Every structure is written in structure tokens, then in C-alpha cells.
Structure 1
């Protein structure tokens, strides 16, 4: 069962009856309780690509503050491939099947209960880095650990290791919790790529000769349909770009038909929907002249690899999710799904500016 450390250090009410104990974590101080920690730390964030990339600065800051700790990311199964690229920050990955109260997967209670029953018993700390804690604190609090930390929403009781959920950019929010526990760090995104990633992509049809000349990546889709601009806006953009340069349309396998519809009246377009792994997508974006995308995972990937971008924001909050580097990344505020002539005008400006940068 979870036990409050003291009346001055009460845990959130939502955690009552969970499995965190009072035992002292290994060599962790009190002012910054995770600074210099050498124990086992579990970090829970069970989300998708863009959300996970936004957590990399927090993981980096945690590793910098506690180089001797054993850090495990607890996330959705797909993220194992992503986290494997950050072995300099993360030691292990634990696949979380999902939970019926979390929308990111369709896992039922049976799958979750099997996960909970098999959960490792030797974590010194569990950090809830998934949201404001209204749902996730109760979930993470069911797993055995000596201590727990995380965010709490407005009106929730919390103790010294919990932080009221801050406003601002998602990267800064997550860094705020690590700053509270261990220490600060820079907000820059990163996505490590290796020579073999580019070689593998170049050896895969239809990308064999793609790197021989400039190209532009366009990502018209998004996991959340509310974040997708109408295909007509992208069709106009793709037609204009294809008159200048090769265009690669990316997306999941389920987006192939949509991409084909967008590119139906153009040539010099590769419909790569469903054809790229995460590493392929990273290499493809990294070598691109620029990328035009909805607010989705590739937008954050572009920020991580330094490729100039135009991000169309249809439903999300730009303050929270737009790229932080406004010199290399532009944002079209299309909330409500309306992009009008601004979209094509901004694409033209981006294309021309990146052309000058290549000269």
C-alpha cells in the first residue's frame, strides 16, 4: 500500500491504496531528491511519437543529474524502437499495454492487470510524466516502488515530490518536473541517426536515387483527425512543390489512399505511406530540403533533426505544441480547419528561403 511520508508530505488522494512505500531510495538527497540518485528510476510516458520526442530533454536532464541511476522508460510497445536510440540517457524499456482509461491504446483491463501483476518490484522511484495526474497518478500508484513523483492537476492534494501541472510548452512542462526533482537542462530536441540508417533507406525502393537531388517531405495526415487539414489544401501545395522539386508524401499504411488522392494530378511524387520505419522516417526528414506537415509526429521529428518546417496547426494549442525554434520552423494557425491562401503562400516562402540557404 502507498503510505504518506508525513502529514506535511501527503500524497494525492487519487493514490490512496496504491503500492508505493516509504523505504529510503538509494543515495538520493532531499533538496533535489533525484540529484545523484544511483537507484532504479522508472519514467512513465505512454504516448505517441511527438509526445515522446518532447520528453527527450527531460530524460537528458535526468541522466545529467543522476548519471549513476538505472533509468527505465515505461511506454507503449511501439516506443521501444524510439527509446533504443537514446541509450545514452535510458538504460531499459518496459512495454505498457495501455489502460481502458487512457485513449492512446485499446487495451482492456485483462491486459493491464497482467502487466500490473508482473511489474518489477525493485524500482526506487516512479515518475509520472504522462499528464496532469488526474488519471495517471492512480494508475502509476498501483505499481510497486519506494517513492513516486509526478504532476498534479488543480485542486488535487500533493506532496513534496509532486508538481502542480504547469502551463507553457510541453517540453518546458516536462523539464519543470525534472528540475523540481533533479536538475535543469536545455530544451533542444534530438533524434540520433546513424550512417546505416541512411544507407538502408537509400537501398530501399523507391528511395534509391532520392538523395541525388533536393526533395521536400509532405505529411498530410495525423493520428488525430481533428489535426488534419482538408486534403484539398495539401493537394494544392503538393502540385506547386512538384513543379519545382521531388516530393515525398509520408504517413501510415492507412493513409496511402488519402495520399494518392492528394497527388493524383501531379508527377514527381513518391507516395511513401506505410513504407517507412521510424529510422527511415528520421533519415528521410533529416535529408529533406524542408517539410510541410500537420501538427503530428513528423513536425517534432523535423525539429529534432534540424530540418526547416511549416507546421499547420488545426486543433492543438500552438503555445504548447508548436516548434520552439521559430527561426527554422513556421506555424500556420489553421484552427478550425481553415487554411485559405495563407498555406500555399507560406509553403512558397519556406521553399524559397531554404533554397537560398542551400546556395
Structure 2
């Protein structure tokens, strides 16, 4: 049985820091769940990007969320220095006992560690490649390298928590959908398609980085084939800014489809993914939402980073291997985008149909 570090066993107010995208936060939820189980007495606050903080109603292990655009993670809007000072004051007034900074291996935890130190938080745990000296009370040397076979992002965060003597043996991602969001989603489906009960599959064609986007014509051909062979309705998701991209895909399709890009809040998107027979998507946040909800996933997985494949859910990860794999770039540095461009739409459709058939056999 694990024995929790005595210093941490007494924590009553815990700050957990995850400042990047929603998908990264979701891949941290098994570690957060382990913390909640080990420290039931602690009030747990999340410091996150605005997109991460918006997930608070869906993460039951958390008590509160603080939104912050960290300048060392993304470009901040507005007066960054003023926002930094305001956050520091807020953290100091909260009198946290401890902070855990979760990062990917290409990020530095030290700016957040310094912020926590200045806020008077005595216990501070994080991975760090360089010696943090007094910035961290609990230092885990970061030995991860971006390469084939490296540990999964979820495992990285579980291993960090395990350093405290906490039993963090793993588990599924967490994203809960309140019943009110599911009801609203049914109403939207009924209004948009005339039926809230027609079986469907979900398609998410967007991604924050161009290097992680499969071509619109590829999505169109794949979605057409899946719809024709399965009889399921393709339902397209996305943000309001991705509506034009969704329409590019739909305009190339022969089969009827439904577009809900920009029409759903986060909970409604979760309800949509929970009800989908399968999700076809780029490597982006909805993939990890679907994994948390148990929905099978076909992911068009650009070879930019190997850590973020679907976790503990039936999945097919499709890519074409390239010499420039693991480039960590937002646009293809070689200009050919072969890691995705050379994935045939027929293979995407075949992967989705295979998952659908497996799901049908399990349900029988």
C-alpha cells in the first residue's frame, strides 16, 4: 500500500496547474482523480487556460477553477503584466498549502513554480529538466524525450503524482455530462434534423494547428463512405471559427449530413460525443473528450508528437510514417504534410466501420 508523504498528507488547499489546451487538461484527469482520492480533505483549485477552466462543471474532482493566459504557454491578450500581478495577488490571498504544476516535456514548469513561490505556497511539485533549486520543494527530473516509444502524456502525470506516495495506478479520462446538457443536445438534434434519436457518428475536422488537420476532401470522402455503408448520419462539430472549414467538407459530400459547428457549448459537445457511435477527428481536444466518455475514436494522427493518442478507449490511430516525425511544429516544415496527406480516405472509412462492427458485436 502506498504511503503518502507526510508533508503532503496534511494539505488542505491544493492548487493544480495545467495551463495549455483542453485536451492536455483531460489527459491529466486520471492524476487529478488520484489526488482527490488520496486527499479527500483538500479543496482543489485548478489554474488553467480559459478553455481548460471552462471544463470545471465537467470535472467532479475539482472545487474551483482560475482562468489565466500564461505568457510562457501561449500569446496573451491585453496587459499581460497587469494580469500576472492580479493572479499573483489572488493566489497569495487564497493561502494554498501546495501546488502541483503539470506540463508536457517540451514546456518549462519553472515560470509557474516561481509564481507559486512568490504567492507563498510552501510545497511545489513539478517535472523540471534543469535544477530548480528553491523554486520547487519537490523536484522530479524530467527525462522525457520526444521520440517513438516515449510514455503517454497520461502516464507522465500519473508518475508525477506517484512521487508523493499516492496510489496513481491509472484509470480512464474524466469528463462528466450533466443531464441538462444532454437534454439541450437532444433538443438541438431534433430541431436541426427532425429527430433526436437517429443514430449518428461525429466528425471533427478542425485542430488548433494546421499541421494536425487532415484535408477537407479526405474528410468528405471518408464521411461519405461511412454514411453510405453504415446508414448513420454524419454530424459535424467544431468551433464557430471552424464553420467555414466544416462547410468546405460538407460541400464535397454526396450523403446528407448535419453541421453543429459553433452551435454547442462544452457540455452539449460532450453529450454529442457520448451519443455518437464513433468519432472521426484530427488529434485534438474532442478526441480526449470522446475517450473520457467511452466513444470509439478514429484519429487522423499527424506525426508531430507521439504522446497524445486516445487513452483506454477502442481506437484506430491513422498516419503515414515520415522521416520528419515528431517535429512539434504547427505547420508542416517540409511542406508536403505526408504524415496525413498519404492516409487514404478509404482507410479512414474502413477503420470507422471496423470499430462500429466491434461495438455492434459487444452490444449483441
TM-score (structure 1 length as normaliser) = 0.83
Supply the distance in 2 between the matched residues of 1:273 and 1:213 (Cα, whole angstroms).
19
Closer/same/farther in 2, CA of residues 236 and 86 from structure 1, 3 Å limit: same
Partner of 1:255: 242
What secondary structure does 1:192 align onto? coil
State which of 91, 99, 115 in structure 1 corresponds to 2:87: 115
Partner of 1:347: 352
- Paired residues for 1:73-152 under 5 Å: 73-87=46-60, 89-96=61-68, 98-103=69-74, 105-106=76-77, 108-121=80-93, 122-132=95-105, 135-143=108-116, 144=119, 145-152=121-128
* CA positional deviation for 1:146: 1.6
- Paired residues for 1:306-345 under 5 Å: 306-318=294-306, 320-325=307-312, 328-334=314-320, 336-337=339-340, 338-340=342-344, 341-345=346-350
What secondary structure does 1:317 align onto? coil
Structure 1 window deviating more from structure 2 (50-59 vs 34-43): it is 34-43
* CA positional deviation for 1:301: 0.9
CA RMSD of aligned residues (A): 2.5
Partner of 2:131: 156
* CA positional deviation for 1:106: 4.1
* CA positional deviation for 1:209: 4.7
Displacement over 6 Å in runs of 4+: none
Structure 1 window deviating more from structure 2 (233-242 vs 334-343): it is 334-343
State which of 154, 162, 178 in structure 2 corresponds to 1:171: 154
Instruction: Name stretches of at least 5 consecutive residues in structure 1 with no aligned partner.
Output: 1-29
* CA positional deviation for 1:102: 1.8
- Paired residues for 1:11-26 under 5 Å: none
Supply the distance in 2 between the matched residues of 1:75 and 1:200 (Cα, whole angstroms).
27
Does residue 246 (structure 1) correspond to residue 233 (structure 2)? The answer is: yes
* CA positional deviation for 1:127: 1.2
1:9-35 deviations in Å (ceiling 9; x for gaps) = xxxxxxxxxxxxxxxxxxxxx962465
What secondary structure does 1:274 align onto? coil
Structure 1 window deviating more from structure 2 (48-57 vs 198-207): it is 198-207
Structure 1 window deviating more from structure 2 (248-257 vs 124-133): it is 124-133
1:11-68 deviations in Å (ceiling 9; x for gaps) = xxxxxxxxxxxxxxxxxxx962465334211111112221111111111111111111
Partner of 1:16: none
TM-score (structure 2 length as normaliser) = 0.81
Does the 8 Å contact 2:17/2:101 carry over to 1?
A: yes
Partner of 1:24: none
More helix per residue: 2
Count of aligned pairs between the two proteins:
326
- Paired residues for 1:14-93 under 5 Å: 32-33=5-6, 35-87=8-60, 89-93=61-65
Instruction: Name stretches of at least 5 consecutive residues in structure 2 with no aligned partner.
Output: 145-150, 322-338
Structure 1 window deviating more from structure 2 (178-187 vs 336-345): it is 336-345
